[in-house]
Homo-oligomer: A and B are copies of this chain.
Amino acid sequence: MFTFAADNMTTEDKIKKTALTLFLEKGFERTSIREIARRAKINIALLNYYFRSKENLFNSIFSSLLGKYTPELNSILSSPLPLEEKIKLYVEEYIDILLKNPRLTYFVLSVLHRNPDKITKMKIFQSLYNTGNFSTQFYDEVRKGNIKDVDPTQFFINMLSLITFPFTIKQVIMEKNKMSEDTFKQFMHERKQVITEMLILTIKK
């Protein structure tokens, strides 16, 4: 994966790629369109030629980014797999995504907090927190007596919290435990099993 935009890309893609890198790194407000233009080696005015505004550019990038990862996660939750298998796959896939994109969680949170009312109603955003048929399946298993009577909402939030939160305090974890980048990655890989076992333990009778 390239950090900077290559010269043979279209201008529009150069802008999007460079802007994404900067938005992830420094957030929306601390990233100026002048810095985007400089790093992408294009004129400032082109930013408003292709995208109408900075806000528009951001929304475009945000949608692309979510659209890239949510379908895979949603398809796991909506699949006809047994519950335990589903949980295992979801945890592994989600952590793999975040290992490739450690800043993603905080990025989404920053978007959410900048404009909560608008964002929570965005389709592309809702799909990120869409449980698919997960809750229904969960209730069914409870009714059948296969698993403990646990609130699916609490369970899903547990799962999300355990997977995503560590990435938002990555620097703290690394600093406190004197971890290198590689050690952190290994820690998160180990975490897949920790989380899966923990979650299944809470529902197993």
Q: Which residues of A are at the interface with B, using a C-beta cutoff of 8 A? A: 27, 29-30, 106, 109-110, 112-114, 116-117, 120-121, 126, 129, 151, 153-154, 157-158, 160-162, 164-166, 168-169, 171-173, 175-177, 187, 190-191, 194-195, 197-198, 201-202
A-B contact sample (10 more), CB < 8 A, given A29-B29, A106-B109, A162-B162: A27-B114, A110-B110, A112-B171, A129-B169, A151-B194, A153-B177, A153-B187, A158-B198, A165-B165, A201-B202
Copies of this protein, total: 2
Report if A166-B161 is in contact (Cβ < 8 Å); known contacts: A113-B27, A198-B202: yes
**B165 contacts A129, CB within 8 Å?**
no
What's the nearest-Cβ distance from chain B to residue A1, in Å? 21
Nearest to A125 among chain B residues (CB) is B172
Measured between beta carbons, the chain B residues less than 8 angstroms from A116 are: 171
| Alpha-carbon distance between A168 and B198 when the two chains are bound, in angstroms | 22
Measured between beta carbons, the chain B residues less than 8 angstroms from A168 are: 109, 112, 165, 168
Report if A172-B120 is in contact (Cβ < 8 Å); known contacts: A29-B30, A162-B158, A194-B158: yes
Nearest to A120 among chain B residues (CB) is B175
Nearest to A126 among chain B residues (CB) is B176
Nearest to A164 among chain B residues (CB) is B165
The interface centre, meaning the residue of A117, A121, A169 with most chain B CB atoms within 10 A of its CB, is A169
